[in-house]
């Protein structure tokens, strides 16, 4: 019986850890809390973007992404 209780305690701890991780990830992806994706805003393109980066260029008013080594506008 004690072994079963210990296993249940471990499961509850693991579930709590997973819940915490979920909310951290959710806040990274949707930091506005409204279910919207917010990207960083820059006056120009970042100096060293890597593939997968996404940003808003406030000078050109374009949403941009780095893909396959090239900065590209998203329309």
Residues 1 and 25 in one domain: yes
- Number of independent structural domains in the chain: 2
Residues 48 and 63 in one domain: yes
pLDDT at 22: 78
Q: Are 39 and 54 in contact (CB under 8 A)?
A: yes
Residues 44 and 18 in one domain: no
What would the pLDDT profile of 16-67 be if each residue is shown by its tens digit?
888 887 777 766 666 666 667 778 899 999 999 999 999 999 999 999 999 9
Domain extent, residue 67, equals 39-75
Q: Which residue has the higher pLDDT, 12 or 38?
A: 12
Residues 52 and 27 in one domain: no
User: Whole-angstrom Cα distance, residue 71 to residue 56?
Assistant: 12
Mean pLDDT value across residues 3-9: 90
User: Whole-angstrom Cα distance, residue 17 to residue 23?
Assistant: 10
List C-alpha distances in Å: 30 to 9, 14, 27, 35, 66.
Answer: 31, 24, 5, 6, 20
pLDDT at 28: 67
Q: Which residue has the higher pLDDT, 46 or 1?
A: 46
């Amino acid at each position: 019986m004690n072994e079963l209780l210990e296993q249940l305690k471990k499961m509850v701890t693991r579930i709590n850890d997973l819940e915490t991780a979920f909310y951290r990830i959710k806040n990274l992806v949707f930091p506005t809390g409204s279910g919207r994706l917010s990207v960083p805003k820059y006056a120009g393109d970042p100096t060293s973007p890597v593939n997968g980066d996404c940003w808003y260029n406030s000078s050109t008013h374009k949403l941009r992404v780095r893909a396959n080594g090239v900065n590209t506008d998203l329309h």
